[in-house]
């Protein structure tokens, strides 16, 4: 089978789908090559992500990685969300086909974009290096 049971579960029953009105941070990322677009919303209280939702237009892997990423950061301190890696998302899903790894990169970037938006809106200083993304997934698609 091409996809793990966890990938199929998160694709068919995605968690945290939707939009948060008055979100504390919103991140949107996309990959023009594959057409996937992810938008992530976070609600933050006392430096903890109390709620997270996503809207993803894309393939099953894009939806599954978005869903898993939201599950992995919900209830966590905002700094911890920044340590989420695409590799951790892939491992949590019990793997992805090589040509779909770029979806997990988008999920990581969407989380970081939402956190960056939260920092910007609240005038919180941060290290720019934390938000340097590849924005192209040539290395992921080979």
Alpha helices (H) along the chain:
5-12, 60-73, 78-81, 86-92, 101-121, 138-141
The answer to whether 34 is a known catalytic residue is yes
Catalytic-role residue among 59, 103, 134, 140:
103
C-alpha–C-alpha distance, residues 109 and 87, integer Å: 12
Pair 115, 78: CB distance under 8 Å: yes
The answer to whether 103 is a known catalytic residue is yes
Which residues carry out catalysis? 34, 103
């Amino acid at each position: 089978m091409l996809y793990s049971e966890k990938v199929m579960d998160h694709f068919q029953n995605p968690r945290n789908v939707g939009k948060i009105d008055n979100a504390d941070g919103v991140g949107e990322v996309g990959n023009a090559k594959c057409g996937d677009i992810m938008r992530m919303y976070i609600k933050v209280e006392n430096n903890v992500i109390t709620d997270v939702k996503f809207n993803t237009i894309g393939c099953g892997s894009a939806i599954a990685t978005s869903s898993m990423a939201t599950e992995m950061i919900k209830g966590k301190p905002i700094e911890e969300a920044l340590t989420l890696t695409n590799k951790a998302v892939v491992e949590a899903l019990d793997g992805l086909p090589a040509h779909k790894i770029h979806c997990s990169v988008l999920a990581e970037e969407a989380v970081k974009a939402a956190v960056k938006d939260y920092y910007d809106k609240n005038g919180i200083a941060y290290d720019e290096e934390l938000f340097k993304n590849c924005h192209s997934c040539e290395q992921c698609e080979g």
